[in-house]
Each structure stands twice: as structure tokens, then as C-alpha cells.
Amino acid sequence: MTQDWKEAYATLEQFVKSSPAIRIEPRLTVIPEGERGRFYELFDQAREVFVREKMPTIWDEACKMSENFFAACRGLEAAGVNQVKTPPELERLLADPARGLIRPLFNPLFDLLKGKISSQEFDFSAQRAVGAYAGPLFKAGYQKWVVLVLLGLAEPDKALSMPYDELQERCQELQPDEKRGFCEYNLPRPKDASVISLGHEGYEPSFVVADVIVRAPDMGRWIAIGDSLTDASWSAKNPTANREWIRLRERGRELKPLLEWPDLALYVDEKPENLGLIIDFAGMLRPDVLIECFEQPNWWRHGGIERAQRNRERFQPRLGSFIVSRHPVPEEVKSQVAAGDAGEGQAAEPAPSVSILEAGYQAGGLKPVMEALFPAPPQE
């Protein structure tokens, strides 16, 4: 492949000029079928070379995320899971980082070929488009990696999931908004799963359910993780009475959605049926552990610590909260979090702490979460 962006673009431009049947003009685009294969081969090469050359950090991060995601997927093979699905855009980037990263450059490169923008304008707008596209996907991908690694650390031998397709088919979004919360439904039990889906697209789903529930045979417990946490529109007829619920709102009184949710909620229980439903209209199953995932450097300068503390106070995890950081964290930031926890510890009922884990893409960096979920028995 051509390594230089200018050379790659010049090759594409020369092919267009040397093919009379191809017309790429400000108001007209004609690429005959006989020329289409070679055109898009050069078109895609130019886009890929641009990202490699101009945005090497983003390119390397996408490749690293993909590699580590699929390595983490293998941790669920013993539980019978042979496929892990994610939302389409993330799935595309994970499966082929090159094809994923070049997607935002389709229209800008055509605009450059048509003479609608200058090369300088393309350079600026293209980098901005790729950064805006990749940023949320890097966040989502890192979060999915955390989920998979935590489940793998349990060395599971069985996996369950809620029948999401069945729920989606039966539970349609209600209009107008005044009806939210008044439609009730009996949720089904979790079922054996060989395919799991991490994260579901959509606004105000009927319910938020556990993406996956696995059995940790050595601990004699089941672990569930709630991802894509958000407000739900329906009320469950059969929420478990065996665990505590955090009241979110009263039906018919409070309809405004919450502005902020934690990234992940973790649960441990002896019975998987207690872990299927995470959120309905009125309440959220009280989590055992909360996790905030930060893949950006300097996240602590953008309210990350305050967010973790707010969510800990709002959702009251029994065993504490963790911040999982993709990048190293300065000691003074750790000291700031520790000092805040020490101050709260003077209260009559101290809140569980917030702990920072500089995990990067090292699975061992997440072991403290499992140690919180499954504390060692006290030594006599």
C-alpha cells in the first residue's frame, strides 16, 4: 500500500482524470460499473493512508482496542459463549479498525475530489470528523473490554442472558409520555446463552436488563453486569423481592429522566433470577459495585472524580465504586480521592469508597473488583 497521503491522493486523482467515463463534479457523480472496483480500491487506500499518517495515535488505539476485545472474548468460551455482539458501529470498528476509522472520510474525500474544499480544509475537517467518530466508540469499546475481563476473571462455566429480542418485540415505546410507567409486564427468566449482546441501542427502553449473567463455580455465585444504564419506560410486575431496590421515581409524578448514570453496575447473587432486571420505571436494583470507565487521558480534569462520587451517593453500591482508567493517574489525584473518602469515613454511616484502578488493557488490573465482590474469608 502507498504510505504517503499525498501520493495516495495523487494516484486516486490521476485515475479519475485518466478515466473519461468517470465524472466527479460539484453537482454530479458518475462512476461506471466497470471503473467502480478500481476507483473504490484507490479511494479506500487514500482514506486509510490519511488516518495512518495524520492520526497515528487514533489508529494505534483502535487496533489495540480490537486486539484486546477479542482476547477478552476468549475468557467466556468455557461458559459456552461463542459470540459477543456489540452495537453496529462499535462492532464494525472492532472487527476491522481500518474500515471503521475511514468511514467518516467518505463525504470529505469526495468533496475534495469535486473541488468543493481545499486540501487544507480537508486536512482539518477530516481529522476532526475521525476524532469525533472514534471518541465515543473508544469509550464504549473500553467499557465492553472491562465487562468481558471481569466476567472472565470469574472463570465462569455457564452463561445466561435475558431474552432481549422477546422483550423488544413485546414492549413497544409508549406515547404520549404521560403513559410512561403505567404499562406493566412480567419479565421472563434468564435463559442459557451462547451469544451475548453488550449494550443495546435505543432511547428510553422498556426495561434495562442484565446483558449477561455468568456462574462462578469456585464462588458458588452468579455475577451480572448492567451496561448501557438509562431510564426505563415500563414497570415490572415481578421485580425480585429478594434484593434491595433504589427508588428512582413514583409513577405518575416524576417523569423527567435522570441526567447521569454510572457506566457499569455489578451484582452477585446465589440465584440468577434475582439479577435479570436491573432497571424499570420506578427503581434500580441496588448494585453491589459501581464502575466508571475512563479511556481518555486527564479525565480527572473534566469532572470524572466528581461524577464517580455523585453516582456512588445516588445509587449506594454496597461494596463500593471503582474508577477504571485506561491511562496512568497522577499520585495527587489518587490522594485527592483518598482524602475525600477519609472525610466521609467520619460520618455515622460511612459511604463505600471510590478506588482508582490504572488497568490500561491489563486484565490483572481489575482483580480488586473481584476481590470486593468475593472477599477472602477472615483468618482466625
Q: What is the pLDDT of residue 166?
A: 72
pLDDT at 348 over 60: no
Q: Are 373 and 266 in contact (CB under 8 A)?
A: yes
Residue bearing cell 475530489? 113
Q: What is the pLDDT of residue 176?
A: 46
Q: How far apart are CA 132 and CA 42, in angstroms?
A: 24
Q: Are 281 and 234 in contact (CB under 8 A)?
A: yes
Residue 108: partners with Cβ closer than 8 Å, 6 or more residues away: 117, 122, 125, 126, 129
User: Quick one: pLDDT band at residue 105, thresholds 50, 70, 90?
Assistant: very high
Q: Can you say how many angstroms the Cα of residue 111 is from the centroid of all Cα atoms in its chain?
A: 32
pLDDT at 15 over 50: yes
Q: What is the pLDDT of residue 310?
A: 93
Q: What percent of the chain has pLDDT over 70?
A: 89
- Mean pLDDT along residues 180-207: 82
Mean pLDDT computed over every residue of the chain: 89
Strand boundaries in 157-297, DSSP class E: 158-161, 184-185, 191-192, 195-197, 208-209, 212-216, 221-226, 235-236, 245-247, 264-269, 277-279, 283-285, 289-294
